């Protein structure tokens, strides 16, 4: 990888990181909305620039061109935004991924490879949610809202392992210390 592209990608990472994990996860949503016309998970140069701007990333034209050209692997004038997001965010290291896997397996109680409302009922107690207690939401609505945080790409009310991994890869990218990430996962999901 050329020095210019390394610097441009680092600049994008730093700008996103300074805004938190929610920004990195939100970037996937922004690009999916821009791609709503044909749903091919690709964006053209102008959509790419718009998506980055909407996520608060400021680049020079040269930096934008370098990143676009780098991620336009087959030179068709489009960037596959899943590849772009993975490239920008990176993948969790093996220790972090092991904790992500452990959390998924805790949720996937029936072992079918997806997490749905029924799986979450056994792990997440929605009756204690403040809005349920106030009568503002039902337990079902709380479960569905909880699932929506994981970017259910196909809107089927189920979180597949890649969606779960993607969510936690974004969270992971905003936490510098491995021990802190592992401790966070253990505390959040009561993991060993």
For the chain, how many structural domains are there in total?
2
CA dihedral (163, 165, 166, 168) positive or negative: positive
The CATH number covering residue 43 comes to 1.10.238.10
Cα–Cα distance measured from residue 79 to residue 158, given in angstroms and rounded to the nearest whole number: 27
Of 38, 68, 89, which closes a domain? 89
One domain, residues 78 and 101: no
One domain, residues 64 and 151: no
**Which residue in 68, 57, 66 sits closest to 16, CA to CA?**
57
Residues 131, 137: contact at Cβ < 8 Å? yes
Q: pLDDT 10s digit of each residue in the chain, 192 long?
A: 677 888 998 898 888 877 765 676 677 778 878 876 667 788 889 989 998 998 889 999 999 999 999 999 888 999 987 788 878 877 899 999 999 999 999 888 888 888 887 787 777 777 877 888 899 999 888 877 777 777 666 667 788 888 888 888 878 877 878 999 999 888 878 788
Of 72, 89, 106, which closes a domain? 89
Q: Structural domain of residue 79, as residue ranges?
A: 3-89
The residue length of the chain stands at 192
pTM: 0.67
One domain, residues 20 and 39: yes
173 phi and psi angles, rounded to 5 deg: -65, -20
């Amino acid at each position: 990888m050329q020095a210019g592209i390394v610097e441009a990608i680092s600049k994008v990472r730093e700008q996103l990181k300074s805004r938190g994990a929610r920004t990195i996860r939100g970037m996937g949503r922004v690009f999916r909305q821009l791609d709503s016309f044909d749903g091919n998970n690709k964006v053209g140069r102008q959509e790419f620039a718009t998506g980055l701007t909407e996520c608060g990333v400021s680049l020079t034209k040269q930096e934008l061109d370098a990143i676009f050209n780098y991620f336009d692997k087959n030179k068709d004038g489009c960037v596959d935004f899943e590849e772009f997001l993975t490239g920008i965010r990176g993948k969790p290291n093996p220790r972090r991924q092991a904790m992500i896997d452990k959390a998924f397996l805790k949720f996937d109680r029936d072992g079918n490879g997806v997490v749905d409302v029924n799986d979450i009922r056994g792990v997440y107690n929605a009756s204690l949610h403040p809005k349920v207690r106030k009568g503002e939401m039902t337990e079902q609505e709380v479960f569905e809202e909880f699932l929506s945080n994981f970017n259910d790409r196909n809107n089927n009310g189920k979180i597949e392992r890649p969606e779960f991994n993607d969510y936690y890869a974004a969270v992971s990218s905003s936490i510098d210390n491995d021990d802190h990430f592992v401790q966070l996962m253990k505390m959040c999901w009561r993991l060993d």
